[in-house]
Chains A and B, each alone.
Chain A
Amino acid sequence: MNLLSRFGGRVWDPWREIGQLQNEMSRLLTGARAFNTGGAREFPPVNLYVKEHEVLLTLELAGIDPETVEITVTGDAVTISGDRPAEVPQQGQNFHRRERFAGQFQRTVQLPFEVDSHKTEATYDRGVLCVRLGRPESQKPKKVVVKTA
């Protein structure tokens, strides 16, 4: 996720970078695939879109009860957790195929800048969860006008 640091808004911290590198390595070693190579193995898969001072997260999360999803924002990270109950076969039913994920899930996404939890908005439509996050005024970059003496 160190890809995101180039969007700025954060002081460079070598220890954090090392930690991120470590996470990235362990992800690669455990078989999870990195950016844009067909998706990670974690559920639900996340896409992150950026537009100036806003971030939009979309998660493919079909067939859940939106009221059971928990979204927490802490500084520049957002955590989405919930539960998608397994399809329980009734008596006399048996599975031919079972490809869908079932069970509890939790995803934490590192954002390119700190966000204002009051500016967070989440919608659930057609099985896609959209979380829109805004940058607080205090975190927005400011232009400095150069005066001539």
Chain B
Amino acid sequence: MNPEVKQEDTATVKKESTTPQGTERTKARKVYVPAVDILETDTSLLLIAEMPGVDEHGVDITIEKNILTIKGAVFDPVPEGYQLAYGEYGVGDYERSFTLTNEIDRDNVQATIKHGLLKLTLPKVKQHATRKVAVTVG
């Protein structure tokens, strides 16, 4: 384990997602930033995002240029007629974006979701062998 990366103290506090200044979302629902773990190996990046309430139908992943965006639409399990009496978390959708380096192979990204946990595998482009250019006397 890398001792330099400590677990953040605010791990269980949901942060609300922001929009560019002066703009608003069309949906009135709140949008939160999912907590993530990101692990790197020589060959890939593994991103684990916490999105309780989201299943495979509600998740949306896009890569545009070098921006990876993950979105999740939440299913609210509370049936009609129940009143909130005490609340520690807000129910809302999820959204978060990351910038990717050119190292990532955008065509082979894989994603799975189980029990509200999204796992994204972002493989790295295989390193090209260094080519030497032979110089001849002209």
Contact = CB atoms under 8 A, between A and B. Distances in A.
Q: Do A and B bind each other?
A: yes
A36 B88 CA distance: 6
Main secondary structure, interface of B, reads loop
A96 B77 contact: no
Q: Chain B: interface residue count, which band?
A: 35 or more
B107 to A, nearest CB: 22
A98 B11 CA distance: 9
A117 to B, nearest CB: 20
Nearest to B12: A43
Contact of B88 (A47, A98, A102, A125): A47
Nearest to A102: B7
A82 B89 CA distance: 19
A47 B35 CA distance: 19
A97 B87 CA distance: 28
A126 B88 contact: no
A89 B116 contact: no
Interface stretch (B19-27, B37-45, B63-71): B37-45
Interface stretch (A17-25, A59-67, A70-78, A134-142): A59-67
11 contacts: A7-B85, A39-B12, A45-B12, A45-B14, A47-B91, A48-B84, A49-B85, A95-B1, A97-B37, A99-B37, A123-B77
